[in-house]
Chains A and B, each alone.
Chain A
Amino acid sequence: MSQPESAVADAQAGGRAQESLAALAERYGLRRAIARPSLPAYLRQLWDRRHFIVTYATSKNVSNYSTSALGQLWQVLTPLLNAAVYWLMFGVILAQSKHIQNYPAFLITGVMVFTFTQRTVTGGAKSISGNLSLIRALHFPRATLPLAYAIQELQVLGWSMGVLIVLVLVTGEPISWLWLLIPVALVLQFVFNLGASLFMARIGAFVRDINQLLPFILRTWLYASGVFYMITERTAGLPSALRWALEFNPAAAYIEFMRDLLIYQRFPERWAWVTCTFWAVFAVIGGFWYFWRAEERYGRG
Protein backbone atom coordinates (compact mmCIF):
# COMPACT_ATOMS: atom_id res chain seq x y z
CA MET A 1 0.00 0.00 0.00
CA SER A 2 2.19 2.75 -1.23
CA GLN A 3 -0.10 4.49 -3.62
CA PRO A 4 0.64 8.19 -3.87
CA GLU A 5 -1.77 10.72 -2.37
CA SER A 6 -2.87 8.05 0.05
CA ALA A 7 -3.91 10.64 2.57
CA VAL A 8 -6.56 8.40 4.01
CA ALA A 9 -4.82 5.15 3.22
CA ASP A 10 -5.74 3.44 6.41
CA ALA A 11 -9.32 4.40 6.24
CA GLN A 12 -9.60 3.40 2.61
CA ALA A 13 -7.86 0.11 3.25
CA GLY A 14 -10.72 -0.72 5.55
CA GLY A 15 -13.18 0.46 2.97
CA ARG A 16 -14.22 3.29 5.22
CA ALA A 17 -15.24 6.79 4.43
CA GLN A 18 -13.26 9.66 5.88
CA GLU A 19 -15.75 10.55 8.60
CA SER A 20 -15.50 7.11 10.10
CA LEU A 21 -12.08 7.93 11.54
CA ALA A 22 -13.92 9.77 14.26
CA ALA A 23 -16.13 6.72 14.79
CA LEU A 24 -13.07 4.45 14.85
CA ALA A 25 -11.52 6.70 17.47
CA GLU A 26 -14.65 6.46 19.54
CA ARG A 27 -14.77 2.67 19.21
CA TYR A 28 -11.29 2.38 20.70
CA GLY A 29 -11.86 5.05 23.29
CA LEU A 30 -9.37 7.51 21.84
CA ARG A 31 -9.86 11.11 22.82
CA ARG A 32 -8.98 14.47 21.38
CA ALA A 33 -5.73 15.70 22.80
CA ILE A 34 -6.50 19.26 23.72
CA ALA A 35 -8.79 19.89 26.61
CA ARG A 36 -8.68 21.91 29.80
CA PRO A 37 -8.96 19.81 32.96
CA SER A 38 -11.52 20.66 35.61
CA LEU A 39 -10.33 22.88 38.43
CA PRO A 40 -10.00 20.08 41.03
CA ALA A 41 -8.19 17.84 38.52
CA TYR A 42 -5.92 20.75 37.65
CA LEU A 43 -5.05 21.31 41.30
CA ARG A 44 -4.26 17.62 41.66
CA GLN A 45 -1.99 17.69 38.60
CA LEU A 46 -0.27 20.72 40.05
CA TRP A 47 0.26 18.94 43.35
CA ASP A 48 1.79 15.98 41.49
CA ARG A 49 4.30 18.40 39.98
CA ARG A 50 5.43 19.85 43.30
CA HIS A 51 8.90 18.30 43.03
CA PHE A 52 9.38 19.82 39.61
CA ILE A 53 8.25 23.23 40.85
CA VAL A 54 10.73 23.31 43.72
CA THR A 55 13.61 21.79 41.74
CA TYR A 56 13.01 24.15 38.85
CA ALA A 57 13.02 27.15 41.18
CA THR A 58 16.23 26.08 42.93
CA SER A 59 17.93 25.24 39.64
CA LYS A 60 17.06 28.63 38.21
CA ASN A 61 18.52 30.36 41.22
CA VAL A 62 21.72 28.35 40.96
CA SER A 63 22.07 28.87 37.22
CA ASN A 64 21.30 32.60 37.42
CA TYR A 65 24.44 33.28 39.40
CA SER A 66 26.64 30.59 37.92
CA THR A 67 28.43 32.97 35.56
CA SER A 68 29.36 35.66 38.10
CA ALA A 69 32.53 35.40 40.13
CA LEU A 70 30.82 35.94 43.48
CA GLY A 71 28.10 33.45 42.62
CA GLN A 72 25.37 32.97 45.19
CA LEU A 73 26.79 35.81 47.29
CA TRP A 74 24.87 38.17 45.00
CA GLN A 75 21.68 36.98 46.61
CA VAL A 76 22.84 38.92 49.68
CA LEU A 77 24.71 41.70 47.90
CA THR A 78 21.86 42.74 45.62
CA PRO A 79 19.41 43.66 48.40
CA LEU A 80 22.23 45.34 50.36
CA LEU A 81 23.28 47.50 47.43
CA ASN A 82 19.67 48.34 46.64
CA ALA A 83 19.11 49.53 50.18
CA ALA A 84 22.34 51.54 50.08
CA VAL A 85 21.33 53.35 46.88
CA TYR A 86 17.89 54.26 48.20
CA TRP A 87 19.33 55.37 51.52
CA LEU A 88 21.79 57.66 49.72
CA MET A 89 19.03 59.07 47.54
CA PHE A 90 16.18 59.52 50.00
CA GLY A 91 17.99 59.53 53.30
CA VAL A 92 20.97 61.75 52.54
CA ILE A 93 20.33 63.77 49.37
CA LEU A 94 16.61 64.38 49.76
CA ALA A 95 16.89 64.24 53.55
CA GLN A 96 13.56 62.58 54.19
CA SER A 97 14.93 61.14 57.36
CA LYS A 98 14.32 64.24 59.49
CA HIS A 99 10.67 63.34 60.05
CA ILE A 100 11.02 59.64 60.57
CA GLN A 101 12.77 57.92 63.44
CA ASN A 102 15.31 55.28 62.41
CA TYR A 103 14.95 56.13 58.75
CA PRO A 104 17.47 53.56 57.48
CA ALA A 105 15.51 50.67 59.01
CA PHE A 106 12.23 52.22 57.83
CA LEU A 107 13.53 52.52 54.28
CA ILE A 108 15.26 49.17 54.04
CA THR A 109 12.20 47.30 55.31
CA GLY A 110 10.07 49.07 52.71
CA VAL A 111 12.50 48.36 49.89
CA MET A 112 12.89 44.67 50.74
CA VAL A 113 9.20 43.99 51.18
CA PHE A 114 8.32 45.83 47.98
CA THR A 115 11.12 44.16 46.03
CA PHE A 116 9.72 40.76 46.96
CA THR A 117 6.39 41.57 45.35
CA GLN A 118 7.95 43.45 42.46
CA ARG A 119 10.31 40.63 41.51
CA THR A 120 7.61 37.98 41.78
CA VAL A 121 5.22 39.94 39.57
CA THR A 122 7.95 40.63 36.99
CA GLY A 123 8.95 36.97 36.98
CA GLY A 124 5.34 35.88 36.70
CA ALA A 125 4.74 38.10 33.68
CA LYS A 126 7.65 36.42 31.91
CA SER A 127 7.00 32.91 33.17
CA ILE A 128 4.86 31.86 30.22
CA SER A 129 6.15 34.11 27.45
CA GLY A 130 9.77 33.33 28.33
CA ASN A 131 9.33 29.56 28.42
CA LEU A 132 7.50 28.91 25.18
CA SER A 133 9.90 26.18 24.11
CA LEU A 134 9.25 24.30 27.33
CA ILE A 135 5.50 24.75 26.98
CA ARG A 136 5.61 23.56 23.39
CA ALA A 137 7.65 20.47 24.26
CA LEU A 138 6.19 19.01 27.43
CA HIS A 139 2.83 18.47 29.03
CA PHE A 140 2.37 19.85 32.49
CA PRO A 141 -0.11 22.17 34.16
CA ARG A 142 1.10 25.58 33.02
CA ALA A 143 0.57 27.15 36.44
CA THR A 144 3.71 25.25 37.38
CA LEU A 145 5.79 28.01 35.81
CA PRO A 146 4.46 31.10 37.61
CA LEU A 147 4.49 28.99 40.78
CA ALA A 148 8.13 28.06 40.25
CA TYR A 149 9.04 31.72 39.67
CA ALA A 150 7.23 32.73 42.86
CA ILE A 151 9.06 30.06 44.85
CA GLN A 152 12.33 31.12 43.31
CA GLU A 153 11.71 34.63 44.64
CA LEU A 154 10.76 33.20 48.02
CA GLN A 155 14.17 31.52 48.15
CA VAL A 156 15.85 34.80 47.26
CA LEU A 157 13.81 36.51 49.95
CA GLY A 158 15.24 34.13 52.53
CA TRP A 159 18.59 35.83 52.05
CA SER A 160 17.17 39.34 51.94
CA MET A 161 15.32 38.75 55.21
CA GLY A 162 18.56 37.71 56.85
CA VAL A 163 20.20 40.91 55.64
CA LEU A 164 17.19 42.95 56.72
CA ILE A 165 17.16 41.55 60.24
CA VAL A 166 20.88 42.14 60.69
CA LEU A 167 20.54 45.74 59.44
CA VAL A 168 17.57 46.43 61.70
CA LEU A 169 19.58 45.16 64.66
CA VAL A 170 22.57 47.26 63.60
CA THR A 171 20.41 50.41 63.51
CA GLY A 172 19.65 49.82 67.17
CA GLU A 173 16.22 48.16 67.26
CA PRO A 174 15.85 45.50 69.94
CA ILE A 175 14.84 41.92 69.29
CA SER A 176 11.17 41.47 70.04
CA TRP A 177 8.73 38.60 70.52
CA LEU A 178 6.74 40.08 67.68
CA TRP A 179 9.44 38.90 65.30
CA LEU A 180 7.90 35.47 65.61
CA LEU A 181 5.06 36.85 63.51
CA ILE A 182 7.40 37.66 60.60
CA PRO A 183 6.78 34.29 58.89
CA VAL A 184 3.04 34.98 59.07
CA ALA A 185 3.54 38.30 57.33
CA LEU A 186 5.70 36.68 54.68
CA VAL A 187 3.23 33.87 54.07
CA LEU A 188 0.43 36.38 53.54
CA GLN A 189 2.58 38.39 51.18
CA PHE A 190 3.78 35.28 49.34
CA VAL A 191 0.21 34.14 48.77
CA PHE A 192 -0.65 37.57 47.41
CA ASN A 193 2.44 37.52 45.17
CA LEU A 194 1.47 34.14 43.87
CA GLY A 195 -1.98 35.32 42.87
CA ALA A 196 -0.61 38.49 41.29
CA SER A 197 2.01 36.57 39.35
CA LEU A 198 -0.54 34.04 38.05
CA PHE A 199 -2.65 36.96 36.90
CA MET A 200 0.32 38.64 35.24
CA ALA A 201 1.44 35.36 33.67
CA ARG A 202 -1.75 35.18 31.62
CA ILE A 203 -1.56 38.85 30.67
CA GLY A 204 2.12 38.46 29.74
CA ALA A 205 1.39 35.40 27.64
CA PHE A 206 -1.09 37.17 25.38
CA VAL A 207 -0.16 40.84 25.58
CA ARG A 208 3.40 40.77 24.38
CA ASP A 209 4.04 44.44 25.08
CA ILE A 210 3.42 44.16 28.80
CA ASN A 211 7.04 43.34 29.56
CA GLN A 212 8.04 46.74 28.15
CA LEU A 213 5.36 48.51 30.15
CA LEU A 214 5.63 46.65 33.43
CA PRO A 215 8.73 48.43 34.81
CA PHE A 216 6.91 51.76 34.64
CA ILE A 217 3.78 50.39 36.25
CA LEU A 218 5.84 48.83 39.02
CA ARG A 219 7.83 52.00 39.61
CA THR A 220 4.63 54.01 39.93
CA TRP A 221 3.39 51.41 42.38
CA LEU A 222 6.66 51.70 44.31
CA TYR A 223 6.26 55.47 44.71
CA ALA A 224 2.63 55.06 45.75
CA SER A 225 3.37 52.43 48.39
CA GLY A 226 5.00 54.51 51.10
CA VAL A 227 8.42 52.93 50.77
CA PHE A 228 10.23 56.26 51.19
CA TYR A 229 7.68 58.21 53.18
CA MET A 230 4.96 57.71 55.73
CA ILE A 231 1.53 57.67 54.13
CA THR A 232 -0.23 59.09 57.18
CA GLU A 233 2.18 62.01 57.34
CA ARG A 234 2.08 62.86 53.65
CA THR A 235 -1.71 62.75 53.38
CA ALA A 236 -2.28 64.80 56.53
CA GLY A 237 -4.01 67.76 54.89
CA LEU A 238 -5.60 65.82 52.06
CA PRO A 239 -9.01 64.12 51.74
CA SER A 240 -9.16 60.97 53.84
CA ALA A 241 -10.35 58.95 50.82
CA LEU A 242 -6.90 59.38 49.31
CA ARG A 243 -5.20 58.17 52.45
CA TRP A 244 -7.59 55.25 52.52
CA ALA A 245 -6.81 54.33 48.94
CA LEU A 246 -3.08 54.50 49.54
CA GLU A 247 -3.25 52.42 52.69
CA PHE A 248 -5.51 49.82 51.11
CA ASN A 249 -2.87 49.30 48.41
CA PRO A 250 -1.58 45.76 49.06
CA ALA A 251 2.11 46.67 48.83
CA ALA A 252 1.68 49.47 51.37
CA ALA A 253 -0.26 47.16 53.67
CA TYR A 254 2.44 44.47 53.65
CA ILE A 255 5.17 47.06 54.17
CA GLU A 256 3.40 48.65 57.13
CA PHE A 257 2.71 45.23 58.61
CA MET A 258 6.39 44.34 58.47
CA ARG A 259 7.47 47.70 59.90
CA ASP A 260 5.09 47.25 62.82
CA LEU A 261 6.71 43.94 63.64
CA LEU A 262 10.34 44.82 62.96
CA ILE A 263 10.74 48.45 63.95
CA TYR A 264 7.84 49.78 66.02
CA GLN A 265 7.42 46.63 68.13
CA ARG A 266 3.67 46.86 68.03
CA PHE A 267 1.07 44.27 67.19
CA PRO A 268 -0.42 45.24 63.78
CA GLU A 269 -3.83 46.87 64.01
CA ARG A 270 -6.91 44.98 63.02
CA TRP A 271 -7.33 46.81 59.70
CA ALA A 272 -3.80 45.78 58.73
CA TRP A 273 -4.62 42.12 59.38
CA VAL A 274 -7.85 42.43 57.43
CA THR A 275 -6.24 44.20 54.48
CA CYS A 276 -3.28 41.81 54.25
CA THR A 277 -5.46 38.71 54.52
CA PHE A 278 -8.05 40.06 52.12
CA TRP A 279 -5.46 40.76 49.42
CA ALA A 280 -3.81 37.37 49.83
CA VAL A 281 -7.08 35.44 49.55
CA PHE A 282 -8.52 37.63 46.82
CA ALA A 283 -5.36 37.56 44.69
CA VAL A 284 -4.68 33.86 44.93
CA ILE A 285 -8.24 32.76 44.17
CA GLY A 286 -8.79 35.34 41.45
CA GLY A 287 -5.35 34.89 39.91
CA PHE A 288 -5.52 31.14 39.90
CA TRP A 289 -8.98 31.07 38.38
CA TYR A 290 -8.03 33.64 35.75
CA PHE A 291 -4.88 31.71 34.82
CA TRP A 292 -6.63 28.35 34.66
CA ARG A 293 -9.31 29.70 32.32
CA ALA A 294 -6.75 30.03 29.51
CA GLU A 295 -4.82 26.84 30.31
CA GLU A 296 -5.24 25.21 26.90
CA ARG A 297 -4.25 28.35 25.02
CA TYR A 298 -0.77 28.98 26.46
CA GLY A 299 2.03 28.58 23.98
CA ARG A 300 -0.28 28.36 21.02
CA GLY A 301 -0.60 30.46 17.91
Chain B
Amino acid sequence: MADVMQEPLSEELSNVTVGTPTVIVDDLHIVYKVYGAANKKGNAANALSRIVRRQGRPEMKEVHAVRGVSFVANHGEAIGIIGRNGSGKSTLLRAIAGLLPAHKGAVYTNGQPSLLGVNAALMKELTGERNIVLGCYAMGMSPTETREKYDEIVDFSGIGDFIQFPMSTYSSGMGARLRFAISSAKTHDVLLIDEALATGDREFKKKSKDRIMQMRESAGTVFLVAHNLDVIEETCNRVIWLHKGKIKMEGDPQEVLGAYNRV
Protein backbone atom coordinates (compact mmCIF):
# COMPACT_ATOMS: atom_id res chain seq x y z
CA MET B 1 0.00 0.00 0.00
CA ALA B 2 1.00 3.55 -0.55
CA ASP B 3 2.88 5.59 1.95
CA VAL B 4 0.99 8.12 4.02
CA MET B 5 2.52 10.87 1.98
CA GLN B 6 0.69 9.75 -1.11
CA GLU B 7 -2.66 9.96 0.60
CA PRO B 8 -5.07 10.65 -2.26
CA LEU B 9 -6.69 14.04 -2.29
CA SER B 10 -9.94 14.66 -4.05
CA GLU B 11 -9.55 15.23 -7.77
CA GLU B 12 -10.41 18.90 -8.02
CA LEU B 13 -7.65 19.78 -5.62
CA SER B 14 -4.94 17.63 -7.09
CA ASN B 15 -3.13 20.72 -8.34
CA VAL B 16 -2.22 21.55 -4.75
CA THR B 17 1.18 20.18 -3.93
CA VAL B 18 0.79 17.55 -1.30
CA GLY B 19 3.61 17.98 1.11
CA THR B 20 4.80 16.34 4.22
CA PRO B 21 2.67 16.04 7.35
CA THR B 22 2.21 19.22 9.35
CA VAL B 23 -0.02 17.96 12.13
CA ILE B 24 -0.21 14.45 13.52
CA VAL B 25 -2.84 13.70 16.12
CA ASP B 26 -2.16 10.41 17.83
CA ASP B 27 -4.94 8.82 19.90
CA LEU B 28 -5.77 12.12 21.54
CA HIS B 29 -7.88 12.30 24.67
CA ILE B 30 -8.85 15.61 26.23
CA VAL B 31 -10.40 15.88 29.66
CA TYR B 32 -11.14 19.21 31.20
CA LYS B 33 -12.72 20.46 34.38
CA VAL B 34 -15.77 22.66 34.40
CA TYR B 35 -16.52 24.93 37.30
CA GLY B 36 -19.91 26.17 38.32
CA ALA B 37 -21.97 23.28 36.99
CA ALA B 38 -23.83 22.83 40.27
CA ASN B 39 -27.39 21.58 40.36
CA LYS B 40 -27.68 21.98 44.11
CA LYS B 41 -28.38 25.31 45.69
CA GLY B 42 -25.09 27.14 45.91
CA ASN B 43 -25.41 29.03 49.18
CA ALA B 44 -22.83 29.78 51.83
CA ALA B 45 -24.17 27.20 54.30
CA ASN B 46 -23.78 24.42 51.76
CA ALA B 47 -20.28 25.54 50.93
CA LEU B 48 -19.35 25.58 54.62
CA SER B 49 -20.79 22.13 55.28
CA ARG B 50 -18.81 20.78 52.34
CA ILE B 51 -15.61 22.21 53.72
CA VAL B 52 -16.39 20.76 57.16
CA ARG B 53 -17.13 17.34 55.67
CA ARG B 54 -14.03 17.66 53.51
CA GLN B 55 -15.81 17.12 50.24
CA GLY B 56 -14.61 18.59 47.01
CA ARG B 57 -16.56 21.21 45.14
CA PRO B 58 -19.47 19.38 43.55
CA GLU B 59 -19.76 22.08 40.95
CA MET B 60 -16.51 20.89 39.45
CA LYS B 61 -17.14 18.30 36.77
CA GLU B 62 -14.86 16.52 34.38
CA VAL B 63 -15.76 16.49 30.74
CA HIS B 64 -14.18 13.93 28.46
CA ALA B 65 -14.48 16.02 25.32
CA VAL B 66 -12.20 14.21 22.88
CA ARG B 67 -11.95 10.42 23.10
CA GLY B 68 -9.19 8.90 21.03
CA VAL B 69 -8.87 10.90 17.82
CA SER B 70 -6.06 10.18 15.34
CA PHE B 71 -5.30 11.66 11.95
CA VAL B 72 -2.53 13.11 9.84
CA ALA B 73 -2.80 16.50 8.15
CA ASN B 74 -0.47 17.44 5.30
CA HIS B 75 0.86 20.61 3.73
CA GLY B 76 -1.65 22.23 1.45
CA GLU B 77 -4.71 20.65 2.99
CA ALA B 78 -7.85 22.32 4.25
CA ILE B 79 -9.63 20.07 6.67
CA GLY B 80 -13.20 20.74 7.70
CA ILE B 81 -14.36 19.53 11.08
CA ILE B 82 -18.09 19.06 11.48
CA GLY B 83 -20.32 17.66 14.17
CA ARG B 84 -23.13 18.65 16.47
CA ASN B 85 -22.76 21.11 19.31
CA GLY B 86 -20.63 19.60 22.04
CA SER B 87 -19.02 16.99 19.82
CA GLY B 88 -15.55 18.25 20.71
CA LYS B 89 -14.71 20.27 17.60
CA SER B 90 -13.48 23.40 19.33
CA THR B 91 -11.69 21.39 21.97
CA LEU B 92 -9.86 19.48 19.25
CA LEU B 93 -8.77 22.73 17.62
CA ARG B 94 -7.51 24.09 20.92
CA ALA B 95 -5.56 20.91 21.51
CA ILE B 96 -3.96 21.16 18.07
CA ALA B 97 -3.08 24.76 18.83
CA GLY B 98 -1.31 23.53 21.94
CA LEU B 99 -3.63 25.45 24.22
CA LEU B 100 -5.10 22.41 25.98
CA PRO B 101 -2.96 19.58 27.34
CA ALA B 102 -3.57 16.03 26.18
CA HIS B 103 -4.96 13.72 28.83
CA LYS B 104 -3.66 10.78 26.83
CA GLY B 105 -2.05 10.56 23.40
CA ALA B 106 -0.32 13.47 21.71
CA VAL B 107 -0.42 16.17 19.07
CA TYR B 108 2.73 16.55 16.98
CA THR B 109 3.10 19.72 14.96
CA ASN B 110 5.52 21.46 12.71
CA GLY B 111 5.95 24.98 13.98
CA GLN B 112 3.24 26.69 15.91
CA PRO B 113 -0.37 26.21 14.80
CA SER B 114 -2.37 29.33 15.48
CA LEU B 115 -5.98 29.64 16.30
CA LEU B 116 -7.73 32.41 14.50
CA GLY B 117 -8.59 33.93 17.83
CA VAL B 118 -7.19 37.42 17.87
CA ASN B 119 -10.57 38.80 18.98
CA ALA B 120 -9.67 37.94 22.57
CA ALA B 121 -6.95 40.59 22.45
CA LEU B 122 -9.09 43.31 20.93
CA MET B 123 -10.92 45.90 23.01
CA LYS B 124 -14.30 47.03 21.83
CA GLU B 125 -13.97 50.50 23.36
CA LEU B 126 -11.05 51.26 21.08
CA THR B 127 -11.11 52.32 17.46
CA GLY B 128 -10.58 49.91 14.62
CA GLU B 129 -7.23 51.53 13.93
CA ARG B 130 -5.91 50.91 17.41
CA ASN B 131 -7.30 47.40 17.41
CA ILE B 132 -5.47 46.53 14.21
CA VAL B 133 -2.18 47.53 15.80
CA LEU B 134 -3.03 45.78 19.06
CA GLY B 135 -4.13 42.62 17.26
CA CYS B 136 -1.04 42.47 15.08
CA TYR B 137 1.23 42.87 18.09
CA ALA B 138 -0.76 40.24 19.97
CA MET B 139 -0.04 37.78 17.18
CA GLY B 140 3.64 38.56 17.56
CA MET B 141 4.15 40.83 14.55
CA SER B 142 6.78 43.58 14.66
CA PRO B 143 5.90 47.28 14.24
CA THR B 144 7.39 47.24 10.73
CA GLU B 145 5.31 44.23 9.68
CA THR B 146 2.24 45.84 11.21
CA ARG B 147 2.77 49.07 9.27
CA GLU B 148 3.27 47.11 6.06
CA LYS B 149 0.09 45.11 6.55
CA TYR B 150 -2.05 47.93 7.91
CA ASP B 151 -3.55 49.15 4.64
CA GLU B 152 -4.11 45.61 3.46
CA ILE B 153 -6.05 44.80 6.61
CA VAL B 154 -8.24 47.90 6.27
CA ASP B 155 -8.83 47.08 2.61
CA PHE B 156 -9.61 43.46 3.23
CA SER B 157 -12.01 44.18 6.08
CA GLY B 158 -13.84 46.58 3.78
CA ILE B 159 -15.26 48.63 6.64
CA GLY B 160 -14.03 51.94 5.24
CA ASP B 161 -14.36 55.04 7.41
CA PHE B 162 -15.68 53.04 10.34
CA ILE B 163 -12.06 52.18 11.05
CA GLN B 164 -11.88 55.44 13.03
CA PHE B 165 -14.81 54.54 15.28
CA PRO B 166 -14.74 52.32 18.35
CA MET B 167 -15.39 48.66 17.63
CA SER B 168 -18.40 48.78 19.94
CA THR B 169 -20.21 50.75 17.25
CA TYR B 170 -19.69 48.06 14.62
CA SER B 171 -22.35 45.67 13.45
CA SER B 172 -21.58 42.02 14.18
CA GLY B 173 -20.71 41.46 10.54
CA MET B 174 -18.27 44.37 10.47
CA GLY B 175 -16.63 43.16 13.67
CA ALA B 176 -16.22 39.67 12.26
CA ARG B 177 -14.72 41.05 9.06
CA LEU B 178 -12.17 43.15 10.89
CA ARG B 179 -11.23 40.25 13.14
CA PHE B 180 -10.75 37.90 10.22
CA ALA B 181 -8.77 40.55 8.35
CA ILE B 182 -6.45 41.06 11.31
CA SER B 183 -5.89 37.40 12.07
CA SER B 184 -5.30 36.40 8.49
CA ALA B 185 -2.74 39.18 8.02
CA LYS B 186 -0.07 37.02 9.53
CA THR B 187 1.17 34.05 7.56
CA HIS B 188 0.53 30.91 9.52
CA ASP B 189 1.88 27.44 8.78
CA VAL B 190 -1.13 25.89 10.37
CA LEU B 191 -4.25 27.98 10.79
CA LEU B 192 -7.19 26.89 12.89
CA ILE B 193 -10.47 28.65 12.20
CA ASP B 194 -13.35 28.22 14.60
CA GLU B 195 -16.67 29.51 13.27
CA ALA B 196 -15.11 32.78 12.19
CA LEU B 197 -16.78 32.80 8.80
CA ALA B 198 -20.30 32.41 10.11
CA THR B 199 -21.06 36.12 9.87
CA GLY B 200 -20.38 38.55 7.09
CA ASP B 201 -22.08 39.15 3.80
CA ARG B 202 -21.71 37.29 0.52
CA GLU B 203 -18.86 39.36 -0.77
CA PHE B 204 -16.87 38.94 2.41
CA LYS B 205 -17.47 35.20 2.44
CA LYS B 206 -16.02 34.99 -1.03
CA LYS B 207 -13.01 37.06 -0.02
CA SER B 208 -12.30 34.92 3.01
CA LYS B 209 -12.69 31.77 0.96
CA ASP B 210 -10.09 33.09 -1.48
CA ARG B 211 -7.81 33.87 1.42
CA ILE B 212 -8.07 30.32 2.70
CA MET B 213 -7.36 28.93 -0.77
CA GLN B 214 -4.36 31.23 -1.03
CA MET B 215 -3.02 29.89 2.26
CA ARG B 216 -3.42 26.33 1.07
CA GLU B 217 -1.51 27.10 -2.07
CA SER B 218 1.34 28.54 -0.09
CA ALA B 219 1.45 25.04 1.43
CA GLY B 220 -0.09 25.88 4.76
CA THR B 221 -2.65 23.69 6.45
CA VAL B 222 -6.05 25.05 7.37
CA PHE B 223 -8.49 23.53 9.83
CA LEU B 224 -12.01 24.87 9.66
CA VAL B 225 -14.81 24.35 12.14
CA ALA B 226 -18.16 25.51 10.87
CA HIS B 227 -21.82 24.78 11.13
CA ASN B 228 -22.27 26.35 7.76
CA LEU B 229 -21.65 23.31 5.60
CA ASP B 230 -21.46 25.29 2.33
CA VAL B 231 -18.25 26.94 3.49
CA ILE B 232 -16.75 23.56 4.27
CA GLU B 233 -17.84 22.05 0.98
CA GLU B 234 -16.36 24.92 -0.96
CA THR B 235 -13.04 25.28 0.82
CA CYS B 236 -12.04 21.93 2.23
CA ASN B 237 -10.52 18.89 0.57
CA ARG B 238 -11.14 16.61 3.53
CA VAL B 239 -13.79 16.50 6.20
CA ILE B 240 -13.67 14.96 9.64
CA TRP B 241 -17.01 14.26 11.29
CA LEU B 242 -16.76 14.24 15.06
CA HIS B 243 -19.45 12.62 17.12
CA LYS B 244 -19.26 12.57 20.93
CA GLY B 245 -15.53 13.10 20.83
CA LYS B 246 -14.75 10.36 18.31
CA ILE B 247 -14.27 10.40 14.57
CA LYS B 248 -17.45 9.02 13.05
CA MET B 249 -16.42 9.46 9.46
CA GLU B 250 -13.55 11.01 7.56
CA GLY B 251 -12.77 11.63 3.92
CA ASP B 252 -14.04 13.36 0.82
CA PRO B 253 -16.26 16.37 1.63
CA GLN B 254 -19.18 15.34 -0.53
CA GLU B 255 -19.40 11.85 0.89
CA VAL B 256 -19.02 12.88 4.51
CA LEU B 257 -21.33 15.87 4.21
CA GLY B 258 -23.84 13.68 2.41
CA ALA B 259 -23.79 11.13 5.22
CA TYR B 260 -23.91 13.92 7.83
CA ASN B 261 -26.96 15.49 6.20
CA ARG B 262 -28.81 12.16 6.16
CA VAL B 263 -28.61 11.81 9.96
Contacts and interface: CB of A to CB of B under 8 A. Distances in A.
Interface of A: 1-11, 13-16, 18, 21-22, 24-25, 28-34, 48-49, 51-52, 55-56, 59-60, 62-63, 66-67, 131, 133-140, 208, 296, 299-301
A21 B69 contact: no
Indicate the member of B109, B137, B166 with the most A CB atoms within 10 Å. B137
A22 B26 contact: yes
Nearest to A45: B140
B120 A138 contact: yes
A63 B114 contact: no
Contacts of A16: 4
Q: Is the interface of B mostly helix, strand, loop or mixed?
A: mixed
Interface stretch (B92-100, B211-219, B227-235): B92-100
B58 to A, nearest CB: 16
A159 B139 CA distance: 31
A6 B255 CA distance: 14
B113 interface: yes
Contacts of A8: 27, 70-71
B100 A300 contact: yes
Indicate the member of A7, A32, A136, A140 with the most B CB atoms within 10 Å. A7
A21 B246 CA distance: 18
B120 A18 contact: no
Given A11-B72, A301-B101, 16 more contacts: A13-B1, A13-B4, A14-B2, A30-B109, A33-B98, A33-B113, A48-B140, A52-B134, A55-B133, A63-B123, A66-B126, A136-B94, A136-B100, A138-B115, A138-B139, A299-B99
Interface string B38-63: 00000000000000000000000000
Interface of B: 1-4, 7-8, 20-27, 32-33, 35, 68-72, 94, 96-102, 106-110, 112-115, 117-121, 123, 125-126, 130, 133-134, 137-140, 142-143, 166, 246-252, 255-256, 259
Contacts of B250: 1-2, 6, 9
A136 B1 CA distance: 40
Nearest to A296: B101
Contacts of B142: 51
Given A2-B256, A139-B112, A15 B1 contact: yes
26 contacts: A1-B8, A2-B249, A2-B251, A2-B252, A2-B259, A6-B251, A7-B68, A7-B246, A8-B70, A9-B247, A11-B72, A13-B1, A33-B97, A34-B98, A51-B142, A52-B140, A55-B134, A59-B130, A137-B115, A137-B121, A138-B114, A138-B117, A138-B121, A138-B138, A138-B139, A139-B140
A137 B117 contact: yes
A4 to B, nearest CB: 5
A120 B35 CA distance: 28
A22 to B, nearest CB: 6
B249 A14 contact: no
A213 to B, nearest CB: 15
Contact of B96 (A11, A33, A63, A136): A33
A137 B98 CA distance: 10
Contact of B101 (A18, A30, A34): A34
Given A5-B247, A138-B120, A300-B101, A10 B33 contact: no
A140 to B, nearest CB: 7
Nearest to B246: A7
A263 B97 CA distance: 55
Contacts of A34: 98, 101-102
Given A6-B249, A7-B246, A138-B115, A52 B138 contact: yes
A2 B96 CA distance: 23
Given A30-B21, A137-B118, A138-B117, A21 B99 contact: no
